[in-house]
A and B are shown apart, each in its own frame.
Chain A
């Protein structure tokens, strides 16, 4: 158990809908990262937040957004869902935003199925 929690574990929804994925980082970690894992694209970095502020952006679509709250939990919002958004979404956390040797620890993931 990494100490990173994600809810829900599974999510089934329809095209065009909007969903919210939630992540709680390990105790004391200030950074949260979101990744998308699909069979054809591998593990894709979406976005990083550090202590409430956006720190880095990866291949995140405009239909997707995220935020990190004062208690450091984070939410990933996915809207206007398409079939291709079906994937595993992982959250990871790390102690700092970029210190040497900082290690990311991953949550168990949320499996999103768009029908």
Chain B
């Protein structure tokens, strides 16, 4: 079975500082990993994904994520946080062994608060 964990309910960071939102996963095969962002009263917006290849994945709005197979992690990062980055962030995983359909498991979400 596949699972994903976001160990922090909330992350606070000062504007201009680097930010990290943590995500760890568990799969039986190879992981396909995704990050989404949700602004208040909006749907989830796709930020980036890791399928294979380079461990550092670049996405929308200056975000990037680093895939670490040995630590089974896929942390979301940004070099310099903006107040407008304040939102709810979801990590998601799909196991390559999940068969012919796309069952994606979402984490519980991490609220990012960027303080001016």
Q: Which residue numbers of A lie inside 8 Å of B, CB to CB?
A: 2, 4, 31, 42-43, 45, 48, 50, 55-56, 58, 90, 92, 94, 96-98, 100-109, 111
Contact = CB atoms under 8 A, between A and B. Distances in A.
Given A2-B43, A43-B90, A103-B34, A97 B100 contact: yes
Question: Across chains A and B, which 8 residue pairs bring their CB atoms closest together, nearest first?
Answer: A106-B43, A106-B44, A101-B51, A56-B101, A43-B106, A55-B101, A98-B102, A108-B43
Most chain A CB atoms below 10 A, which of B41, B43, B49, B90: B43
Interface centre among B32, B46, B100, B104 (most CB of A within 10 A): B104
Interface residues of B, number: 24
B99 A103 contact: no
A100 B101 contact: no
Interface of B: 32, 34, 36, 41-46, 49, 51, 90, 96, 98-106, 108-109
A56 to B, nearest CB: 4
B104 A45 contact: yes
A42 B32 contact: no
B101 A98 contact: yes
Contacts of A94: 102
A102 B102 contact: yes
A97 B100 CA distance: 7
A42 B43 contact: no
A107 B102 CA distance: 18
Contacts of B44: 43, 90, 92, 106
Given A2-B45, A106-B44, A106-B45, A48 B51 contact: no
A53 B90 CA distance: 28
Contact of A107 (B43, B100, B104): B43
Contacts of B103: 45, 48, 56, 58
A113 B90 CA distance: 24
B46 A105 contact: yes
